[in-house]
């Protein structure tokens, strides 16, 4: 297996390897024209833009809504996917894709969030596309994230597990270094009990971080050799759109 750190920048997963976000693009029963969250996420998009397409079930709703709007309004946009799954969905429904290797700047990104606190700090990684999601977010002028009201939390990690992507070389030693930080994670497996492989060739560890200082934790993880990326997105969000149980949408502002 080739080095996933370089592959995250210059290529995709090996042919035939499962990628983590493959189950995230199935359509919902809700017609896209009645999907208020998806419509709010794509509303700022205009002709001439380069648009980053997020990864996950919520982001896929907005990708489908965008394709419909492009068709109806004849918008001239190009898109960059944050995962192979999002790229494939976008191509299938008629969106024009750009090569991120040749795209220095993105005008607008929409994506989902697994958890979000009142400071717009987020936890992501349910679909394993963390590294590409962060790379595209940091190239974007504006980043808008979507979530459900049940995922708005007082403290990150209170609902779900933190995803940490590591290289599949020296796994035991990497996990030992993480244990020295008080972190114990399990390797994410697919339905066939095989380790999930990300688009960049990494493995995913899922771990509890309840009660941790997330800023310090993010800094610590950034300095662990073998850790490619992690699901703490603490500064990426310019705006978070929150959907309630009835489908209504509100914009969440950061706490003062």
Per-residue confidence (pLDDT) for residue 30, from 0 to 100: 74
Per-residue confidence (pLDDT) for residue 31, from 0 to 100: 79
Residues 135 and 40 in one domain: yes
Q: Which strand ranges, in their side-by-side order, compose the sheet holding 162-166?
A: 185-187, 203-207, 162-166, 227-230
Per-residue confidence (pLDDT) for residue 33, from 0 to 100: 87
Which residues of the chain register pLDDT less than 50? 1-18
Per-residue confidence (pLDDT) for residue 253, from 0 to 100: 76
Say which CATH number the domain at 85 has: 3.40.50.1360
Residues 167 and 116 in one domain: no
Write b or e for each residue in 140-167: b if 16 or more Cβ atoms lie within 10 A of its Cβ, otherwise e.
beebbbbbbeebbbeebbeebbbbbbbb
pTM exceeding the 0.85 threshold for the entire prediction: yes
Tell me the backbone φ, ψ of residue 186, rounded to 5 degrees: -110, 145
List the domain range (segments joined by +) for residue 173.
Answer: 162-231
Residues 38 and 121 in one domain: yes
Q: pLDDT (tens digit, 9 = 90+) per residue, 154-186?
A: 999 999 999 999 999 999 999 999 999 999 989
- Neighbouring C-beta atoms of residue 40, cutoff 10 Å: 20
Per-residue confidence (pLDDT) for residue 255, from 0 to 100: 66
Return the structure tokens found at 15: 């042919």
How far, in Å, CA of 203 to CA of 183, rounded?
A: 16
> Is 155 part of any domain?
no
Residues 67 and 123 in one domain: yes
């Amino acid at each position: 297996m080739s080095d996933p750190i370089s592959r995250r920048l210059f290529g995709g997963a090996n042919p035939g390897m499962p990628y983590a976000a493959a189950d995230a693009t199935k359509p919902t029963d809700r017609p896209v024209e009645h999907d208020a969250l998806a419509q709010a996420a794509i509303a700022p998009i205009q002709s001439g833009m380069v648009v980053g397409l997020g990864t996950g079930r919520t982001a896929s709703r907005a990708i489908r809504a965008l394709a419909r709007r492009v068709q109806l309004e004849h918008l001239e946009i190009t898109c960059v996917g944050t995962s192979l799954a999002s790229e494939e969905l976008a191509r299938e429904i008629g969106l024009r894709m750009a090569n991120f290797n040749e795209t220095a700047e993105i005008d607008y990104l929409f994506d989902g969030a697994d958890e979000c606190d009142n400071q717009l700090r987020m936890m992501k990684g349910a679909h394993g596309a963390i590294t590409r999601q962060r790379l595209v977010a940091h190239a974007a002028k504006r980043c808008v994230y979507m979530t459900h009201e049940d995922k708005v939390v007082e403290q990150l990690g209170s609902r779900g597990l933190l995803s940490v992507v590591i290289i599949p070389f020296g796994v035991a030693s990497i996990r030992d270094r993480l244990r020295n930080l008080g972190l114990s994670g399990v390797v994410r497996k697919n339905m066939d009990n095989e380790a999930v492989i990300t688009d960049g060739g990494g493995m995913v560890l899922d771990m509890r971080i309840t009660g941790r200082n997330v800023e310090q934790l993010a800094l610590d993880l950034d300095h662990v050799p073998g850790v490619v990326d992690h699901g703490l997105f603490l500064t990426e969000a310019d705006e978070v759109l929150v959907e309630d149980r009835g489908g209504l949408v509100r914009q969440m502002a950061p706490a003062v």
